[in-house]
Amino acid sequence: MSRMPAQVRDLIMELPDSKIREVSLNSIGKPGLIALWFGESDEETPEFIRDAAKAALDGGETFYSPNSGIEPLRAEIRNYMGRVYGRDLDLNRFTVTASGMNAIMLSFQALVDPGDNVLVVSPVWPNCSETIRIMGGEIRPVVLDERDGAWSLDLQKLFDAADEKTKALFINSPGNPTGWMMSEGERDEILLWARKRGIWIMADDVYARLVYDRAHAPAFIEIAEPEDRLIAINSFSKSWSMTGWRLGWITAPAALEHDLAKLNEYNIAGPTTFVQHAGVAALRDGDPYVDGLVERLRRRRDLVTQSLGRFSRVRYTPPDAAFYAFFAVEGMADSLKFALRLRDEAGVGVAPGIAFGQSGEGYLRLCFASSERALSEAMERLRPYLD
């Protein structure tokens, strides 16, 4: 006799399914389909990183790791942050996580109580905002403006959105899906405001190295004091083409080290040990790969920008960073239905703008981290639907 399962929390049942996954459902690996819906490069993880993981496996690195991560990786993160941002940060400020997404979840678990609200610069990758909802918090989107060929953040609108229940600001810069990047001046003003208000800043820096006019994006970690209420999120997925490895890290005030270690214990115990050794190699030896990836992405961005610029129904602001084309389509009332149509009729997989919040409706996101050949073919297939 079958029994009905116990009902999960109403809040969890009401969480929306990923609309990106909905478009890709049952179509991953479909012959002839050009899949540009997920945020990942089509390049395999570099060989030197794979070799480091193999050597760790062969060396018996298959046991539990410390909750905060293995010491060699935390030390290499310290070296990396010093090299990139020019800051000598204490080792106890770093917590290794099982992906950037896991880092976001741990951070919101640490900060958000039911009834708190979090300001979220939007449109944004849906996993970021829904994590707030899972913790019982309120999402307060602060929508970027698109005008005069650029995305911009109205700082006064951001500051006015806060009240006495605002616990944190979540800001993804460079941003997914828009490619928007905050300026040094905006960074400085936001940090000063957050200090005065006692509001945490959660900075999603996973695209910080994928920038087209400088070595890295402006980051709060460059100017913040050790005691500032700042949590910076990083991931190995994007810059080192390690999406399937699930490895990231948190930079936070040292006072949070023990609590973040406890949260790691109760979520995953600790990140996969041999994968952490691959992370050591990525940070220590990976700068030439990252620089080369940026140059390849620059060419692909330019190819997509040129093509979209010829389509009469498209309005498009080329990104300053990251690897997404986020473009509006004239007359498109339902981006999910349109994305499904492009998948089925054109054989091109893109993400619907509505996946990134209500402010994304009317847009599509195309990840251009694929080969120029695949992108050229995708543009030709899309022409009849966008021109």
Q: What is the pLDDT of residues 325-368, one digit of tens each?
A: 999 999 999 999 999 999 999 999 999 999 999 999 999 999 99
Name beta bridge partners: 250. 95, 233
**Upstream peptide bond of 271 is cis (omega within 30 degrees of 0):** no
Q: What percent of the chain has pLDDT over 70?
A: 98
pLDDT attached to residue 1: 44
Average pLDDT over residues 221-229: 97
Asked if 68 contacts 260 with a C-beta cutoff of 8 angstroms, the reply is: yes
Model pLDDT for residues 58-80, shown as the tens digit of each residue? 999 999 999 999 999 999 999 99
11-15, 138-142, 270-274, 361-365: the lowest-pLDDT one: 11-15
pLDDT attached to residue 10: 85
Residue 35 has pLDDT above 50, yes or no: yes
E-strand spans in the chain? 34-35, 94-97, 117-122, 138-143, 145-147, 150-152, 166-172, 200-204, 230-235, 248-251, 314-316, 324-329, 348-349, 351-352, 363-367
Residue 4 has pLDDT above 70, yes or no: no
Model pLDDT for residues 175-213, shown as the tens digit of each residue? 999 999 999 999 999 999 999 999 999 999 999 999 999
Identify the band that residue 2 occupies on the pLDDT scale cut at 50, 70 and 90.
Answer: low
Model pLDDT for residues 153-171, shown as the tens digit of each residue? 999 999 999 999 999 999 9
pLDDT attached to residue 16: 83
The tokens for 52 are 């480091």
pLDDT attached to residue 134: 94
Average pLDDT over all residues of the chain: 95
Q: Please, what are the domains in the chain?
A: 10-45+288-382 (3.90.1150.10), 48-286 (3.40.640.10)
Q: Parallel, antiparallel, or unpaired: how do β-strands 363-367 and 351-352 relate? A: antiparallel
Asked if 222 contacts 87 with a C-beta cutoff of 8 angstroms, the reply is: yes
Q: Is 212 helix (H, G, I), strand (E, B) or coil?
A: coil
Model pLDDT for residues 277-336, shown as the tens digit of each residue? 999 999 999 999 999 999 999 999 999 999 999 999 999 999 999 999 999 999 999 999
Q: Which residues contact 25 (CB under 8 A, 6 or more apart)?
A: none
d(CA 183, CA 221): 14
342: number of Cβ within 10 Å: 24
pLDDT attached to residue 30: 84
Average pLDDT over residues 27-55: 94
The tokens for 261 are 């270690």
Asked if 91 contacts 116 with a C-beta cutoff of 8 angstroms, the reply is: no
d(CA 359, CA 330): 15
